[in-house]
């Protein structure tokens, strides 16, 4: 789906490292490693995170594609080492002689990838699914997104995100008390957030084919973040109850320039950016690993039991919003490259 700004990631949650190879960047782009690391730090923060985030201090190492602080046009490789790997070396070993049952599990976690993943890839040990389905991989995606943001900065495009609701909480203070209550009960919470991109040119994306619509591309990029269950644009989620006379963003002239007084469309009309702020809203479901576990089935003997638990977040909505910023940045960087196909900056 990303035709020009392409990347692949690899790496398991407790493996040695997470890696990404990015292809398509023009040469001459300044790569600010401190900025990438500050984005990684943002992803690690947020009220309600689990113990893992205290172990890791994610920092990126660039092993190709950059010389003296600037891209040189070749593929860029990013690496984040997992500190926790020192405790998992044997369990995550690539060598057949190290095979062990330690940390294996067979009790599916409802809401996670365990059941469908075990059928799809024919795994008895659900560890084989957990390791890659874990949202740990969003760390390296955040690093890739930070590179995309550096590219967008060159075009004067910036972004931010806000948390809109967590459980019943509508303010920062309420978010914390909702998360505290859930944690105490061994439960988890999801929430709603928005991502806003400013200063986008008019006409990114297209109406001519369904797979070129920028809202479709962004929806795919955000919907595929682990635990995201709904994505909408502007006031789209309320579109069913607002008449056309109030929903559509009327156009006026100010000093010869077209202006709007509302942005219910969220900056996209006809699958294209319309020059208004891009406003993407998303809902993250509650974290599926619960300290008070749910009813499930043990795949080893097909008996009813309760689900596997291991160290987990209570709520990760703030981190999820940072990941969504990164994913959308990649989509927009790709669109900018499609309309400005230069090999150097």
Ligand X SMILES: Cc1cc2nc3c(=O)[nH]c(=O)nc-3n(C[C@H](O)[C@H](O)[C@H](O)COP(=O)(O)O)c2cc1C
Considering only the stretches 64-72, 87-95, 220-228, 273-281, report the one whose residues sit in contact with ligand X under the rule CB under 6 A: 220-228
For residue 239, the minimal CB distance to ligand X (Å) is 24
User: How far apart are the C-alpha atoms of 102 and 275, rounded to whole Å?
Assistant: 55
Q: Which of residues 92-131 bind ligand X (CB under 6 A)?
A: 112-113
CA distances from 210 to 207, 216, 273 (A): 7, 8, 15
User: How far apart are the C-alpha atoms of 265 and 154, rounded to whole Å?
Assistant: 26
Exposure of 74 in the CB half-sphere (CA atoms within 13 A): 8
Per CB under 6 A, the list member of 2, 143, 225, 265 interacting with ligand X is 225
Q: Give the 3-state secondary structure of residue 58.
A: coil
Q: Does 315 bind ligand X (CB under 6 A)?
A: no
For residue 114, the minimal CB distance to ligand X (Å) is 9
Q: What stretches of the chain adopt beta strand conformation (E)? A: 6-10, 17-23, 60-64, 66-67, 70-71, 76-81, 158-166, 191-198, 228-233, 251-254, 257-260, 268-269, 272-273, 278-284, 295-298, 303-306
Q: Does 308 bind ligand X (CB under 6 A)?
A: no
For residue 46, the minimal CB distance to ligand X (Å) is 8
Query: Residue 50 or 205: which CB sits closer to ligand X?
Result: 50
For residue 310, the minimal CB distance to ligand X (Å) is 8
> Mask: binding to ligand X, 16-55, rule CB under 6 A, as x and -?
----------------------------------x-----
Q: Count residues contacting ligand X (CB under 6 A)?
A: 20
Considering only the stretches 94-102, 151-159, 319-327, 333-341, report the one whose residues sit in contact with ligand X under the rule CB under 6 A: 319-327
> Mask: binding to ligand X, 321-340, rule CB under 6 A, as x and -?
--x-----------------
Q: Give the 3-state secondary structure of residue 129.
A: helix
For residue 318, the minimal CB distance to ligand X (Å) is 9
Query: Residue 36 or 307: which CB sits closer to ligand X?
Result: 307
Query: Residue 2 or 129: which CB sits closer to ligand X?
Result: 129
DSSP 46: S
User: How far apart are the C-alpha atoms of 329 and 25, rounded to whole Å?
Assistant: 13
Exposure of 53 in the CB half-sphere (CA atoms within 13 A): 20
Per CB under 6 A, the list member of 2, 272, 320, 328 interacting with ligand X is 320
What φ, ψ does residue 258 adopt, rounded to 5°?
-75, 130
Contact 271, 207 (CB under 8 A): yes
Query: Residue 45 or 171: which CB sits closer to ligand X?
Result: 45
For residue 42, the minimal CB distance to ligand X (Å) is 11
Q: What residues line the site for ligand X (CB under 6 A)?
A: 50, 112-113, 133-135, 138, 225-227, 285, 287-289, 312-313, 316, 319-320, 323
């Amino acid at each position: 789906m990303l035709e020009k700004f392409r990347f692949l990631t690899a790496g398991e949650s407790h493996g040695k490292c997470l890696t990404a190879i990015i292809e398509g960047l023009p040469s001459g782009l300044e790569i600010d490693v401190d900025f990438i690391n500050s984005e990684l730090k943002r992803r690690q923060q947020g009220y309600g995170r689990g113990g893992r985030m205290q172990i890791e201090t994610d920092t990126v190492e660039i092993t190709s594609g950059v010389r003296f602080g600037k891209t040189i046009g070749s593929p860029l490789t990013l690496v984040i080492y997992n500190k926790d790997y020192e405790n998992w070396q044997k369990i995550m070993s690539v060598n057949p002689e190290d095979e062990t049952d330690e940390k294996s599990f067979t009790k599916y976690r409802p809401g996670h990838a365990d059941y469908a993943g075990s059928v799809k890839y024919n795994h008895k040990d659900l560890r084989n699914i957990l390791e890659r389905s874990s949202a740990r991989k969003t760390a390296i995606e955040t690093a890739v997104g930070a590179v995309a943001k550096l590219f967008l900065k060159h075009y004067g495009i910036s972004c931010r995100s806000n948390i809109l609701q967590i459980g019943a909480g509508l303010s920062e203070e309420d978010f914390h008390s909702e998360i505290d209550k859930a944690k105490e009960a061994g439960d988890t919470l999801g929430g709603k957030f928005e991502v806003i991109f400013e200063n986008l040119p008019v006409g990114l994306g297209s109406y001519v084919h369904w797979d070129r619509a920028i809202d479709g591309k962004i929806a795919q990029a955000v919907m595929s973040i682990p635990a995201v269950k709904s994505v909408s644009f502007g006031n789209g989620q309320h579109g069913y109850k607002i008449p056309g006379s109030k929903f559509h963003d009327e156009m006026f002239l100010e000093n010869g320039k077209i202006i709007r007084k509302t942005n219910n469309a969220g900056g996209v009309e006809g699958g294209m950016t319309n020059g208004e702020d891009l406003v993407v809203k998303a809902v993250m479901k509650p974290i599926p690993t619960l300290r008070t576990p749910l009813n499930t089935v043990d795949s080893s003997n097909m008996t009813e039991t309760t689900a596997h638990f291991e160290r987990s977040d209570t709520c990760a909505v703030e981190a999820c919003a940072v990941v969504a910023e990164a994913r959308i940045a990649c989509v927009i960087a790709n669109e900018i490259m499609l309309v400005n196909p230069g090999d150097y900056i």
